Amino acid sequence: MEVRLTPDRQNRLSQLAIEQDRAPDALAQEAICRYLDQEARFTEAVKLGEEALERGEYLTHEQFGERLERLFKIGWNSGGRHSPPTIRNPSTGISPRTIQPPPATW
């Protein structure tokens, strides 16, 4: 089998191969294997989800919201053991912003 790449992708693959001191073919094979494994896991997860749905094992939107709210309360209001995640501006690395839990009426 032959795989054709755009010139840009070929250049990116070649550059990565140089940086990692590996053969471009080996990197391409590894990427394809990872993709196939990921697709197989995803397909299996969808199948399991569909089977659970057929058995009536699912949460309504409201039930999911209630569980999510409980998780926020448990994780962020447990005596300081857990703190909300901080997000930083990726371009500057400054200006931290803290994610707040959803309002109680959510």
d(CA 22, CA 2): 19
State pTM to two decimals: 0.56
Tell me which residue range forms the domain holding 69.
7-79
Torsion angle in degrees (nearest 10) through CA of 52, 57, 62, 65: -70
Which residue would you say has higher pLDDT here, 21 or 81? Answer: 21
CA distance 50 to 43: 11
pLDDT in tens, 27-52: 999 999 999 999 999 999 999 999 99
SS3 98: strand
**17 occurs within a structural domain:** yes
Give the start-end residues of each E strand in the chain.
86-87, 97-98
SS3 content of the chain, % helix, strand, coil (to 5): 60, 5, 40
| Residue 12 predicted with pLDDT over 90 | yes
The tally of domains found in the chain comes to 1
Count of C-beta atoms within a 10 Å radius of residue 101: 15
101 part of a folded domain: no
